[in-house]
Amino acid sequence: MGDIKKSKPIQPKQVVSDVDSDPPLVEFTLADDLTVWFDDDHPNSSQSFKNKTAMVILRDLIQGKITTFDATRAVLDMLPSREECLKGGDNGWNEAKGQHAALSQWFCDMAMQIPYNHRAQAWLVQLLVTISRSERSGGMSHGPLGEGYPIFVSMEQFGIDVYEQFEPDIEDDLWPGDPVAHGLNSTAFLARLSLAGFPGFVRNAFRTMRNLESEPSDPRYTDLSVSTAALRVLYGGQTLYIQAVEAPVTEDSNSAHFKPGKLYKGPQFGIERWAFWKEALKAAGEKPEEKMSEQSRKLAAAAAELMEAIEKGRRV
């Protein structure tokens, strides 16, 4: 298992953050330029130990002390095997679900705090994708194919946690720092996962891009709408093009997530909608400074250029 056993034990310190939290949030350094937080409800519990162990694994992965496979094995060793679940009956499966849920929540918490352009996001994605390929990460489900066509569903609880948690909310944010930044970080993380081949999150992608098709009800969301759409393109543009233009997921096309906003009048899927998003981002990148932040303008301009390049690449 590489150098996992040589990792220094975590010495978390209780901190007083600017966020009301019971218990106080614990600070942990993942890299020289990256500090994250986690809550520790029951410091002496087995789950607390696993959360802290996961932090050490991610830290050592980011710092190059262990390989992705070493890290994956170390995380999977904390999850019950299929055989252990079968021996435990209903209680065994329920225990496994609880551990999957805790691991999924940990991934969500880390992704939300790691800056979208920090290398740690790439390592976190690699770790999650590799973990998802193990039988310890999921089980059989009827899924979208229906009765009689069971499929392996990996990290099912992770998808649920993403749906419930990765909605940027300026008014209510648990973690210290900038809640808008947390929205940007989580958007880039999901885009990275899609590009890496992790299943799901198509609805999330369209919901993010649809923000370009309507005027935000709250002006504070203008920059956030543009920036999240731009990041969806910059970190997952190739996959988004497939989902929106080349091979749309039409089985779920009646979902409200895919419905166009008021400003777009074209077909639900196709190059027309892609072109609308591209022009909206291009326009945002050219807005005067007083109407759009510098960060949003730079992200929008870069995303529009990438969308043009993706289109041209399909025509070569």
Domain end: 200, 235, 267, which one?
Answer: 200
CB 281 within 8 A of CB 208: no
User: Does 163 share its domain with 282?
Assistant: no
State which residues form the domain around 6: 1-200
CB 263 within 8 A of CB 273: no
- In this structure, are strands 34-39 and 151-154 parallel, antiparallel, or unpaired? unpaired
Q: Which two tokens stand for residue 137?
A: 């990460």
Ramachandran region of residue 218, left (φ > 0), alpha (ψ -120 to 50) or beta? beta
Tell me: pLDDT of 108 over 70. Answer: yes
Domain end: 180, 200, 220, which one?
Answer: 200
User: Does 215 share its domain with 311?
Assistant: yes
Q: Kindly report, residue by residue over 188-233, the tens digit of the pLDDT.
A: 999 999 999 887 788 889 989 998 998 876 666 788 889 999 999 9
Q: Kindly report, residue by residue over 63-81, the tens digit of the pLDDT.
A: 999 999 999 999 888 887 7
The predicted structure's pLDDT at residue 316:
81
Q: Which two tokens stand for residue 206?
A: 């369209």
pTM above 0.85, yes or no: no
Q: Which of 135, 136, 134, 114 is nearest to 125 (CA)?
A: 114
CB 63 within 8 A of CB 31: yes
User: Does 237 share its domain with 178?
Assistant: no
Taking the C-alpha atoms of residue 308 and residue 65, their distance in angstroms, rounded to an integer, is 39
Q: Which of 29, 177, 44 is nearest to 12 (CA)?
A: 29
User: Does 195 share its domain with 257?
Assistant: no
User: Does 214 share its domain with 182?
Assistant: no
Task: Measure Cα distances from 65 to 2, 52, 69, 154, 284 in Å.
Answer: 8, 17, 12, 27, 42
User: Does 140 share its domain with 271?
Assistant: no
User: Does 210 share its domain with 176?
Assistant: no
User: Does 143 share its domain with 219?
Assistant: no
User: Does 239 share its domain with 252?
Assistant: yes
User: Does 191 share its domain with 245?
Assistant: no
Q: Which two tokens stand for residue 201?
A: 């999150």
